[in-house]
Amino acid sequence: MLQKIAFSLKDKIALVTGAASGIGEAIAEAYGAAGAWVYVADQNEPGARETALRIEQAGGRAVAVKTDITVRASCEALVNQVLAERGACDVLVNNAGVGHVGTLLTTTPEDFQRLWAVNVQGMYFLSRTVFPSMIERKRGSIINMASALGLTAMEDRFAYTVTKHAVVGLTRSMALDFGATGVRVNCICPGRVETPFVQQRLSEYPDPEKYRAQMVSTHAQKRMAQPWEIAGAAVYLASDESAFVTGSTLVIDGGYLCGK
């Protein structure tokens, strides 16, 4: 008998960080469309509310929550709110992240600590808080947003590369330690994605179009990804169809790593 594959998230409770814009926004909206109840978390509260409103206007269910993932108490309050209001958290997407341009010597201790706090420590706080409830229910999916630079390196991106390598290690370690509990942990490693963050970075260069062309040329497909192309993978990893997938690094990079 042929089995229909739908990637449904019907009635799953999902928490997505960094969901006010870019990849997080696309994931939150895709989850809403797939039937999940979505908690849209971001430090940018107006942006989070706009994302939640779009989900609701499309017929989905969403709640916007202002969160600072660099603060342990804020992370714990966020997870506890989800558990108190919905009784469970089926999916945690650790998407929030920041970048920085610099080498070891041009990256200040403050810059490095900022990236570590957002890109790694926030994932630790949130995962550690939600894990016990997932273990108790013997199911759950944690999806961490890494990067192609979690698997290779790039000039002048020292702190970003270090933290994204850490995300890959964090993912594999959690998956190995808790594989028998029914909780799955995976990460997505995108190449460059056309997001407001990337557009802002481009605008800071003297010749934005020239630098954009350089960025695009590093991918075999000669283009950047759109946020929805990353969101599709996040729907899969949250769905029951990915039940045998854990500890994986799902690369979505348009062939960026082919030449590395």
Q: What is the pLDDT of residues 26-52, one digit of tens each?
A: 999 999 999 999 999 999 999 999 999
What is the crossing angle of helices 22-33 and 45-57, to 10°?
A: 30
pLDDT for 132-160, tens place per residue? 999 999 999 999 999 999 999 999 999 99
Distance of alpha carbon 161 from alpha carbon 176, whole angstroms: 23
Task: Find the mean pLDDT for residues 201-219.
Answer: 81
By C-alpha distance, which of 63, 122, 57 is closest to 89?
Answer: 63
Query: Mean pLDDT, to the nearest integer, of 231-258?
Result: 96
Helix axes 122-137, 72-86, angle to 10 degrees: 30
The pLDDT score that the predictor gives to residue 65 is: 98
The active-site residue, picked from 31, 39, 124, 160, is 160
| Residue closest to 101 by CA, chosen among 152, 161, 18 | 161
pLDDT score, position 68 = 97
Specify the pLDDT at position 3. 62
- From residue 240, alpha-carbon distances to 132, 160, 174 in Å are 20, 32, 19
160 an active-site residue? yes
Domains and CATH numbers, the chain: 13-195+227-254 (3.40.50.720)
Q: What pTM was computed for the model?
A: 0.95
- Average the pLDDT over 193-210 and give the result: 80
What is the reported pLDDT for 17? 98
